[in-house]
Chains A and B, each alone.
Chain A
């Protein structure tokens, strides 16, 4: 009886944690997308008003953005400073491919981020601003979708975890 109770407790707590983790993952993903948005917004302002070169401005942005996103911006800035790639696109893509594994971003998020990188480096100021506006628009739409999903499903993930655990326990008993 004692072992059964411990087993049931372990199953329910594990499934609850899985449910919670699924919800939290989306929250962290949203947080990272918001950090990217903040970074790109800062980037746009620096380009529009100061015309700061990318390596310099990405280094500045890296200090103003948090977590893995800040680290990615810092790495891109360092590689650009060292001219470690033939084009900005090449550096941008290689860093996000490496750093993407350490983030909560999905493959679709990374694809969009990499696609945005293809516009960096060779455009005039107006065109560069245009490409940033488009990227920001898409990013904000994505964030809105995640927020709505979180509002709707946030508690659902936890409840599903608890209920799923209970279902397994009942079935096993």
Chain B
């Protein structure tokens, strides 16, 4: 199986293009970036430019002097990342992030402007975090057998703190099911890609490999997206990223009763923490067949620590032979 690991050179070129010209040029000169896999680029006003790779964390420096990001560069970065059209991304800015072409997510911090007690927009952006979307083809294959019970696919939750590879694993599981890898048949997978990170659509075409039997509902709130897909696309599986808002669970409830399998990611640490969320506990309780995968970064991003079933029985634990 071919493995595409993280930010390839071609992908890096795309990313440099999104950054202010001098920042992109400076990063291009860094040789280590060609050998390592970039995971994050952070720009903070009047602070050194920061890069996190799969192996290390770096402050970019010229000799002994740190390479400082200016206020102007932050402003330029915001404009370039927003395609010179911030008005087109007001909704995303309210949430504090933007997904750019290629599925990379950019987080913003600045001064929030409030209207009726709610965030209307962000101004005076002071720091940016560009999280590079990683596509690791094949990373989900070994876990597929755990997702089946008596030959039927279980509802699956992928749980971890941020940055542990949930979306990457979810994307590969979608791809496997869509191709029918390690399954008896291929599945029709409906994806609600609210943040555009799973499939990274461009002009209606997924930039990531999500398989041939996958329908993507992009930029749509999860609950509504799940309803759309249920009504219109007769999916076998519906996949969503980062379940958590109250409204999301209403959509899931409908889905669980409709006989469609849910595969989703959730922020969390362990089973106890997960079950403290009442909505989550109720949802897991309603699953007839379910699997919960816990990820960590202990042996690299995307390490599967444990797999539980919905009845609370551990199916797998890293380092423990079955």
Binding site for B on A (CB under 8 A): 47, 51-55, 80, 82-83, 86-88, 91, 120-125, 128
Contact = CB atoms under 8 A, between A and B. Distances in A.
B86 A122 contact: yes
A103 B121 CA distance: 39
Contact of B18 (A47, A83, A124): A83
Contacts of B21: 86
B84 A120 contact: yes
Q: Which residue, B76, B79, B84, has most C-beta atoms of chain A within 10 A?
A: B84
Contacts of A128: 87
B84 A91 contact: yes
Contacts of B79: 86-88, 121-122
21 contacts: A51-B88, A52-B85, A53-B84, A53-B85, A54-B83, A54-B84, A55-B83, A83-B18, A86-B79, A86-B80, A87-B76, A87-B84, A88-B79, A88-B84, A91-B84, A120-B84, A121-B82, A121-B86, A122-B78, A124-B87, A125-B87
B20 A124 contact: no
Interface of B: 17-18, 20-21, 75-76, 78-80, 82-88, 90, 121
Contacts of A121: 79, 82, 84-86
Contact of B86 (A52, A83, A91, A124): A124
Nearest to B86: A122
Nearest to A126: B87
B contacts with A: majority SS: helix
B88 A52 contact: yes
A123 B121 CA distance: 11
A55 to B, nearest CB: 6
A47 to B, nearest CB: 6
Nearest to A120: B84
Nearest to A127: B87
A76 to B, nearest CB: 10
Q: Which residue, A47, A51, A83, A125, has most C-beta atoms of chain B within 10 A?
A: A83
A86 B75 CA distance: 9
A24 to B, nearest CB: 36
Contacts of B75: 87, 122
Contacts of B85: 52-55, 88, 121
Contacts of B20: 86
Nearest to B93: A124
A74 to B, nearest CB: 16
A123 B78 CA distance: 11
A51 B80 contact: no
A162 to B, nearest CB: 51
Nearest to A55: B83
A53 B203 CA distance: 13
A72 to B, nearest CB: 16
Nearest to A76: B84
A128 B18 CA distance: 22
A87 B20 CA distance: 9
Given A51-B88, A87-B79, A87-B84, 16 more contacts: A47-B87, A52-B85, A54-B84, A55-B84, A83-B18, A83-B80, A86-B21, A88-B79, A88-B85, A121-B82, A121-B86, A122-B75, A122-B86, A124-B87, A124-B121, A125-B90
B179 to A, nearest CB: 33
A121 B121 CA distance: 15
